[in-house]
Structure 1
Amino acid sequence: MNKFIVIDGLDGSGKDTQVNLLADMYEKQGCNVVVRSHPCPDNKYGRKSKEALLKTGKINHLLATIYFGLDAVRSVVKYCRDDSIDVLIFSRYILAVMYLPDGINTIVYKIVSFILPTSDCMFFLDVSPEESLRRIGSRNEETEMFENIECLRENRLRSQKFTYNWNVIPGDDSAEVISQKIKMKCLETDNLIK
């Protein structure tokens, strides 16, 4: 893998939209692009994480986070050392630790961000909880445990203590404006690499 990109944010922040736009840009340049959108449905950890996210309660909250972490680590192990991949893009990654209990989440984040790969192209789409909820409501999908206004507000506040080394992009902007900001940063780092 030559380039590692992460796009994260609250539910409804536009992560998958931005991942697809970015993957398309690199594919048009002739790059071999692999996208991992966590939780991934192609393995048991991703499926178990999604199952827990569709339920409620503290146990499912914890299970969703643990299985999500295992899913992300699986993706790292399987794809980060693959030299045939030019660009590896993760939708959701290590910020999932913010869903762990306060105090523990900070310790786990520091450990995880030290052990797992990071890059200059890690983006957090900072969408307002109200816009996030509006977008979630426009999807035709089952609602997950964190997809309510109280959780969205709480998790947006929590995210601020973890995104100090991320590129924070205002997530209420249009998809085109957000995409331009992400692409400019990625292209800037591409030029620094060459």
Structure 2
Amino acid sequence: MRFIIIDGLDGAGKDTHARLIVEKYTSQGEKVIFRSHPESDNKYGLKAKEALLGEGKINHMKASLYYALDVIRSLRLYHGKKNAPADTLIFSRYLLGVAYLPNPLGKILYKLLAAILPTTSYMFFLDVTPEESLRRVSEREEHEMFENIDDLVKTREKALKLVDNWHIISTCGSIENVQNTIDAILDNIDHEHQD
């Protein structure tokens, strides 16, 4: 099973590009499962979303905990099954939720989770400037606790230090150009796995 991870700041285009990847592989006749965390189909995802819309350190910790539980739930349901329900599994938001935690906790948890949870050669960090991220998320009706310029600057700096073995893609260009870059990397990895 192909396991694709799309991560990045809020407003970086994670779900947009994940959906385009879904289209790419379904058009080739593959079965694809797409999970965008936190999900609304379980109590962990719902509690994570609720905490993200709140304020303060308690909600900060609750959001991180429930987010992690939601991701683990998705892994247990869909990853590494002998009779896999799909050819491709795509996770939008995975390991980099820890970048929202204060240092050094975020860095320690990232290393721990990256050692325990499955990783893949299909890991993409969609990079966007904090200013562009804020502009994009300001168009939404609901705003999460980390959607302010100070938190976005800090989170981006922490995330970029963690993703040294990821494919880092700037999403400040057009959706089409960004997706062409992603598709070229996907095709190259797919080709390497066929050899």
TM-score of the superposed pair, with normalisation by structure 1:
0.96
The AA in structure 2 aligned to 1:126 is D
Q: Please give the TM-score of this superposition, normalised by the length of structure 2.
A: 0.96
Instruction: Say which SS state the counterpart of residue 169 (structure 1) adopts.
Output: strand
Q: 2:43 matched to 1:36?
A: no
Q: How far apart are 1:126 and its partner, in Å? A: 0.8
Letter in 2 for 1:18: H
Runs of 4+ in 1 over 4 A off after TM superposition: none
Indicate the RMSD between aligned Cα atoms, in angstroms: 0.9
Question: Does residue 1:65 correspond to 2:53, yes or no?
Answer: no
Task: Tell me the distance in 2 between the aligned counterparts of 1:169 and 1:101.
Answer: 25
**Equivalent position of 1:159 in the other structure:** 159
What 5-or-longer segments of structure 1 have no aligned partner? none
Structure 2 alignment gaps of length 5 or more: none
What is the identity percentage for the equivalent residue pairs of Structure 1 and Structure 2? Answer: 49
| 1:118-177 alpha-carbon deviations (Å, 9 max, x no partner) | 1111100110011111111223x2100011111111111111211111110012111111
Q: Over residues 100-131 of structure 1, what are the superposed CA-to-partner deviations in whole Å (9 max), with x where a residue is unaligned?
A: 22012111111100111111111001100111
Does residue 1:123 correspond to 2:130, yes or no? no
Q: Deviations over 1:72-96 (max 9, x none)?
A: 0111111002323100000000111
- Does the alignment pair 1:54 with 2:43? no
Count the aligned residue pairs.
192
| Aligned 8 A contact 2:45 2:66 in 1 | yes
Alignment of 1:43-192 (within 5 A): 43-82=42-81, 83-139=84-140, 141-192=141-192
Q: Is the 8 A contact 2:126 2:171 kept in 1?
A: yes
